[in-house]
């Protein structure tokens, strides 16, 4: 049964405590990890606050975006700082083991490894050492002197609004991605930077592939992966040729059968017919239906409806509609437009607001990650970020609003807006 998260009272001027104040879970925690220096340590409560900000306190999270665990380690950071002695990935390790690795990262890179959430959680060097001892931690752990040089740790929150990578979805093309994200050099430059991941055919990109948008070549695929992609491309090309041959044979037979009938029709109709009024009406109707394309923000049923009354909301009713979806669900722009804000929104948590050509604004709140930045043009169905439980909530969901202005208090019925655009909901 899906969790139906609800909001607390909207208070835009108060500091958000939901993502910072947590209870230090876990019982029977043992002695500090041997070899962790106290000069660069942070206590367990502070690490819990960082995790609440980074992953809504989900220490097992793996949404497929390249960041793992409660503290959102990249795989390279996890390996470089000895995390694999506990588990292959951070999301497979315990909370105590993740904190132990995080202490090493803090020692080498400082709080800047978590640039957004370290400030919100008060993470600094020189705090009390964490009272944890991960499994297998009896062996002495060496500090920064034994850690090989690695790139600074980054997290989804630190990259919110500054995404340099793009994950391919169904229907994408290189030219479309290049135009949407304003890639210098167009699709040709995008292809050259990601040839190792795409393969030999720039017209064939697969959902799930991650592409570099800034021209720094994506990590080249292994020889095995490249061979598999080439083989898959050849198979698809062969199948397409077979289908084209079958279609051409079928068309030839159809034309041969219909030729006598066509000749009779041509003899009977010497003058071209004028389009009927019904035909012109159909044409006008067709234009009207394609005037505006609208899609649902997520593929899910609705939860708390619009205008539901209750003391939980400052206006006395729910100003949007909720979609109860798990953290990490892709959130799409319901229509083409321009991003007017992307970032922290107080009680709304991380949010994106888009202005559309019809003058309406759509809001997407409580996100766990943001994929766009303010001022960016977005297309219908383009991913804006991922759902979460940031801000004043009691569970993960997407809060969706439609407004006449960019700010709180100008809401209109969001479900009616979607239905008017052809969305069945």
Report which DSSP code applies to 41: B
Dihedrals φ, ψ of 408, to 5°? -65, 140
Report the pLDDT value the prediction gives residue 149, as an integer from 0 to 100.
46
Does residue 342 contact residue 43 with C-beta atoms inside 8 Å? no
Q: Of the given ranges (153-167, 179-193, 230-244), which has the lowest mean pLDDT?
A: 153-167
Question: Residue 262: which pLDDT band, with cuts at 50, 70 and 90?
Answer: low
Question: Residue 252: which pLDDT band, with cuts at 50, 70 and 90?
Answer: low
Q: Which tokens belong to 24?
A: 């230090």
Q: Please list, in sequence order, all residues whose beta carbon lies within 8 angstroms of the beta carbon of residue 84, skipping any fewer than 6 positions away.
A: 78
Q: Please, what's the b/e burial string for 6-34 (b: 16 or more CB within 10 A of its CB; e: otherwise)?
A: bbeebeeeeebebbbebeeeeeeeeebbe
Q: Is the pLDDT of residue 108 over 70?
A: yes
Q: Is the pLDDT of residue 93 over 90?
A: yes
Comparison of pLDDT for 141 and 393, the residue scoring more: 393
Report the pLDDT value the prediction gives residue 287, as an integer from 0 to 100.
41
Comparison of pLDDT for 115 and 245, the residue scoring more: 115
Section 260-271 average pLDDT:
54
Report the pLDDT value the prediction gives residue 170, as an integer from 0 to 100.
72
pLDDT tens readout for residues 37-51: 334 567 888 999 999
Report the pLDDT value the prediction gives residue 168, as an integer from 0 to 100.
80
> 367: which strand partners?
350, 387
Report which DSSP code applies to 122: T
Question: Residue 382: which pLDDT band, with cuts at 50, 70 and 90?
Answer: very high
Q: How many CB atoms are closer than 10 A to CB 299?
A: 11
Query: What percent of the chain clears pLDDT 70, i.e. is strictly above it?
Result: 63
Section 96-120 average pLDDT:
89
Comparison of pLDDT for 163 and 103, the residue scoring more: 103
Q: Is the pLDDT of residue 290 over 80?
A: no
pLDDT tens readout for residues 209-229: 888 886 544 443 334 444 555
Exposed, middle or buried, 189 (CB in 10 Å: 0-12/13-18/19+)?
Answer: middle
Is the entire prediction scored with pTM above 0.75? no
3-state secondary structure at position 309: strand
Q: Which tokens belong to 266?
A: 């041509």
Question: Residue 353: which pLDDT band, with cuts at 50, 70 and 90?
Answer: very high
Report which DSSP code applies to 210: E
pLDDT tens readout for residues 11-35: 443 333 333 333 333 333 333 333 3
Give me the chain's average pLDDT, please: 74
Q: Please, what's the b/e burial string for 340-364 (b: 16 or more CB within 10 A of its CB; e: otherwise)?
A: ebbebbbbbbbbbbbbbeeebbbbb
């Amino acid at each position: 049964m899906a969790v139906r998260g609800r909001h607390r009272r909207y208070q835009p001027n108060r500091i958000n405590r939901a993502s910072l104040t947590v209870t230090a879970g876990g019982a029977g925690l043992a002695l500090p990890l041997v070899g962790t220096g106290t000069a660069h340590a942070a206590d367990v409560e502070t690490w819990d606050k960082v995790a609440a900000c980074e992953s809504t306190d989900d220490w097992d999270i793996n949404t497929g975006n390249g960041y793992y665990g409660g503290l959102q380690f990249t795989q390279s950071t996890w390996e470089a700082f000895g995390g694999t002695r506990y588990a292959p990935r951070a999301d497979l390790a315990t909370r105590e083991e993740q904190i132990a690795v995080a202490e090493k990262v803090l020692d080498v890179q400082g709080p800047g490894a978590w640039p957004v959430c370290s400030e919100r959680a008060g993470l600094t060097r020189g705090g009390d050492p964490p009272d944890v001892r991960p499994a297998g931690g009896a062996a002495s752990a060496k500090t920064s002197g034994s850690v090989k040089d690695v790139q600074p740790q980054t997290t989804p929150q630190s990259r919110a609004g500054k995404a340099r990578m793009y994950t391919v979805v169904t229907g994408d093309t290189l030219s479309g991605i290049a135009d949407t994200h304003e890639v210098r050099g167009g699709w040709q430059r995008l292809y050259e930077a990601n040839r190792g991941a795409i393969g030999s055919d720039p017209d064939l990109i697969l959902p799930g592939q991650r592409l570099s948008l800034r021209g720094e070549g994506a990590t080249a695929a292994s020889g095995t992966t490249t061979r598999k992609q080439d083989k898959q491309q050849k198979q698809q090309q062969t199948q397409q040729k077979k289908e084209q041959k079958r279609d051409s044979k079928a068309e030839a037979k159809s034309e041969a059968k219909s030729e006598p009938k066509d000749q009779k029709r041509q003899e009977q109709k010497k003058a071209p017919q004028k389009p009927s009024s019904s035909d012109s009406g159909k044409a006008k109707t067709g234009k009207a239906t394609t005037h505006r394309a609208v899609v649902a923000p997520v593929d899910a049923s609705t939860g708390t409806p619009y205008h539901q009354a209750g003391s939980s909301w400052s206006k006395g009713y729910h100003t949007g509609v909720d979609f109860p979806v798990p953290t990490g669900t892709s959130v799409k722009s319901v229509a083409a437009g321009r991003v007017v804000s992307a970032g922290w929104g107080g009680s709304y948590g991380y949010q994106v607001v888009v202005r559309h050509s019809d003058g309406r604004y759509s809001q997407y709140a409580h996100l766990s990650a943001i994929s766009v930045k303010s001022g960016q043009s977005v297309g219908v169905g383009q991913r804006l970020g991922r759902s979460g439980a940031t801000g004043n909530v009691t569970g993960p969901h997407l809060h969706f609003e439609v407004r006449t202005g960019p700010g709180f208090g100008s809401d209109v019925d969001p479900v009616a807006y979607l239905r008017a655009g052809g969305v069945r909901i």
